[in-house]
Structure 1
Amino acid sequence: MSRIFVYDDEGAHELHLDAYRALQTRPAFVWIHVDAGAEDARAVVERCDVPDAAASALLAQETRPRCLVMGEGALINLRGLGAAQGNGGDPLVSIRLWADHARVVSVGYRELAILDAVVADMMAGRLRDPGDLITDMAQHITAELDPDVADLGDDLDEIESDLGDHAPIHARRRVSRIRATAISYRRFIAPQRQALDLLAMADVPWVHPDDRLHLQEAADRCARMAEELEAVRERSALAHEELTDLRAERINRQALIISVVALVFLPLTFLTGLLGMNVEGIPFAHERWAFWGVVATCVAMAMGIGGWFMATQWLRR
């Protein structure tokens, strides 16, 4: 499904595709958003008079953030949070844009979370040229991503504050999730900064000075997020190693306790096994106090062995 937004003398409004084709005069600015999953997506893009190289890039399945200037037009790929999370794909959704004089053609396979906000800005008449639209989209994307990146750092701070002998067992899974998310985000945010920088410096007439300032601001924000994600990735690796060491230490301590118990009971088992043989000649076998004598001997041996372990501080090693 394609959506067409037009800004002209009557203000901003949305048009059906047939109504847009029936326009007698070219509007001051038009934004055509194409759902790449629709059957007519390729036909709509081809009818928009987009250069062949740009059309292929707009409909590509796999993309990364970039900016490529072609004459007075530019191909821009951006990534932002998707409207539907948890569907198994990349958490950052791609939107491809072709911009030239008074027109933007955008293509997306999955809907961006910020798309409704951008549409609202368009319908309010605040977006009047391609520079305004791309700048607004970049600012919304970075503003939406910033809290998520900060939450990753806060979650890691919480885990690091709980590190110790009583660290929760599930902490390793949380650290792994945080690290995987940070790596996934940084893979796209770092090149997105370069794409926004290139667009801010591009020699195209529809990027005005105020647009360049806003694009540079969004690029700086992406740079800060990339640095924060790199720090989260490194801290996650250290936290994971520390949690692994704590887990190994717990296992070693439990194995040590089991070994001590086995060493305490080893001589007792030997004694009871020796006295339990059905042969003649066992001393005091027919005395009334023989059973309690054996019990007292076992208790004394256990206490003696345990006392030796405590005196040598063997359990603290």
Structure 2
Amino acid sequence: MHDNFLVAGRDGLLWCYIIEPDKSARLCSLEEVNSYQGSGYTWVHMQSDEIDTALTLQKLGLAPARIESLCALETRPKVQDYHDGMLIYLRGINRNPEADPEDMVSLRLWLKERQIISLRRKDRRLLSVIDVKESLDNGECPPSPIDLLVNIVNCITDRISETVDDLDDELTEFESQDVPQNESRTRLMLARRQAAALRRYLAPQRDALEAVTRVCKHITDNQVHDIRMDYDRMTRYVEDLDLAKERAMVLQDELRNRIAEQQGMRMYVLSLVTAIFLPLSFLTGIFGMNVAGLPGTESPDAFTILAISMVIIALGITGYMLWKKWM
């Protein structure tokens, strides 16, 4: 059953697993988790903002200070090592319906030698955790809590990669446009905002992954290698987001310059038209005055002479502009 279809009760529980050393996993109850004495480990996934979540965490043996940290409203990626376990805050891409990817989902983890507890907030489902759950259901069971943590981090990093690549493709599409579209300014602003929002959490998350390799007491060389790989990937994504911000700024400046150039060209054309018709308007204004003494009022050829004179003047001004290369 997917996390999408699981609804936490008042106790905040979404699922509990017992993972045995033979790499088999089975769903279980909270009581079975508390009474488990095997050589495997347990995984409890919860909702942090239910009414009795704190009471459930207390039943799992967590100290009040740890419970308060796991149920905090706002978190930033970091790692804190304690004598009884390790507290880890991570952020994952929000792939929920009608959600913005930059609105990243918080995942809180409490890691011990034989147990891992993960929490997320209501209606903030993290698809990376669901992927790991499905792998357990398919028999792909990590041998230790740290390996389970590595799998979660890998899935989170993979989805971050997809989002960063999508952002890069969007900016590449902008760069290939010869003529800016009407909605380009808004889309560029959104892309720049998305890059900044993602980097806000990915930079400390990169540092948190590095801290895991330093402070975790039961980590093996292979696990360190896997987390280092995710650390290197996260570093590259942070650099890509920095570059994306710069590219978006350059594209915005180029778009503004293109718009200003188009507006300047239109004003230039209007100025040329005005320069050609200004003397003609002056002549029509003079001969259109309803006063006595105007020349040609009694001559039947006066209008023809005036019209021909105006055409000659217009052609003369146009020729002068062409000679000066103003047109």
Could you tell me the TM-score, scaled by structure 1's length? 0.90
User: Which residue in 2 is equivalent to 1:167?
Assistant: 180
Asked if 2 retains the 8 angstrom alpha-carbon contact of 1:34 and 1:44, the reply is no
Corresponding position: 1:289 with 2:301? yes
Asked if 1 retains the 8 angstrom alpha-carbon contact of 2:86 and 2:216, the reply is no
User: Which residue in 2 is equivalent to 1:113?
Assistant: 127
Asked if 1 retains the 8 angstrom alpha-carbon contact of 2:49 and 2:71, the reply is no
Work out the number of aligned pairs and report it: 311
Distance 2:198 2:326 in 1: 48
User: Which residue in 1 is equivalent to 2:199?
Assistant: 186
Q: Deviations over 1:38-68 (max 9, x none)?
A: 3322222232222333222211111111111
Could you tell me the TM-score, scaled by structure 2's length? 0.88
| CA pair 274-12 structure 1, distance change in 2 beyond 3 A | same
Q: Please state how far the C-alpha of 1:311 moved relative to its aligned partner.
A: 1.6
Distance 2:101 2:118 in 1: 20
Task: Select 1:98's aligned residue among 99, 110, 115.
Answer: 110
Distance 2:36 2:263 in 1: 78
Task: Select 1:43's aligned residue among 35, 38, 55.
Answer: 55
Distance 2:287 2:274 in 1: 20
Letter in 1 for 2:68: S
Corresponding position: 1:135 with 2:147? no
User: Which residue in 2 is equivalent to 1:157?
Assistant: 172
Q: Please state how far the C-alpha of 1:309 moved relative to its aligned partner.
A: 1.8
Letter in 2 for 1:196: L
Asked if 2 retains the 8 angstrom alpha-carbon contact of 1:79 and 1:95, the reply is yes
Percentage identity across paired residues of the two chains: 28
Distance 2:102 2:74 in 1: 11
Distance 2:142 2:193 in 1: 36
User: Which residue in 1 is equivalent to 2:236?
Assistant: 224
Q: Please state how far the C-alpha of 1:147 moved relative to its aligned partner.
A: 2.2
Distance 1:131 1:97 in 2: 11
- Root-mean-square deviation (CA, aligned residues, Å) is 2.1
Q: Deviations over 1:70-102 (max 9, x none)?
A: 125111111111231533684321101011121
Q: Please state how far the C-alpha of 1:143 moved relative to its aligned partner.
A: 1.2
Asked if 2 retains the 8 angstrom alpha-carbon contact of 1:7 and 1:125, the reply is no
Secondary structure of the 1:117 match is helix
| CA pair 152-89 structure 1, distance change in 2 beyond 3 A | closer
Q: Please state how far the C-alpha of 1:221 moved relative to its aligned partner.
A: 0.6
Q: Please state how far the C-alpha of 1:197 moved relative to its aligned partner.
A: 0.9
Map residues 158-307 of structure 1 onto 2, 5 A cutoff: 158-163=173-178, 166-205=179-218, 207-307=219-319
Distance 2:51 2:311 in 1: 84
Range moving further from structure 2, 289-298 or 12-21: 12-21
Corresponding position: 1:6 with 2:6? no
Distance 2:57 2:320 in 1: 84
Distance 2:311 2:60 in 1: 93
Asked if 2 retains the 8 angstrom alpha-carbon contact of 1:131 and 1:208, the reply is no
Distance 1:51 1:291 in 2: 103
Distance 2:176 2:288 in 1: 55
Q: Please state how far the C-alpha of 1:258 moved relative to its aligned partner.
A: 1.6
Q: Deviations over 1:141-178 (max 9, x none)?
A: 11111122122222212212325xx3333322222222
Query: Which segments of 5 or more consecutive residues in structure 2 lack a partner in the other structure?
Result: 1-7
Q: Deviations over 1:226-246 (max 9, x none)?
A: 111111111211121121122
Q: Deviations over 1:178-198 (max 9, x none)?
A: 211111111111111111111
Query: Which segments of 5 or more consecutive residues in structure 1 lack a partner in the other structure?
Result: none
